[in-house]
Amino acid sequence: MKEQAERLTQLVLKVHRRNGGTLTALDLDRPLQAPEFNLDSMDLAEIMVAVEREFSVEPFNAPSPPRTWRDLLTLIEPAASD
């Protein structure tokens, strides 16, 4: 779980910093598009494609689409253990 959380954090903060952000940590309980992340819909799509490729999971095909980063992490974790 920790590895998946760290990797998700890296993916999000990479895009965040590219957009001029200065966050050093990802608050998993914040909404996917909370203002402090500086992510627009294209940025979020980029992150979701990276998640799909890296973890072989399609977040928006889940029974309940993720609303927070923790929601996304809970989708990643079972896929990573397969």
Q: Is the pLDDT at 82 greater than 60, yes or no?
A: no
Q: Identify the pLDDT of residue 53.
A: 96
Q: How far is Cα 19 from Cα 54, in angstroms, rounded to an integer?
A: 22
Q: Express each pLDDT in 43-65 by its tens digit.
A: 999 999 999 999 999 998 989 99
49, HSE (Cβ side, Cα atoms, 13 Å) = 7
Residue 47, both tokens: 């992150």
pTM: 0.89
Q: Identify the pLDDT of residue 78.
A: 77
Residue 15, both tokens: 């895009």
- CATH number at 68 reads 1.10.1200
Q: Is the pLDDT at 14 greater than 80, yes or no?
A: yes
Cα distance between the two ends of the chain: 13
Q: Is the pLDDT at 80 greater than 90, yes or no?
A: no
Q: How far is Cα 17 from Cα 38, in angstroms, rounded to an integer?
A: 9
Number of domains comprising the chain: 1
Question: The domain containing residue 67 runs over which residues?
Answer: 2-81
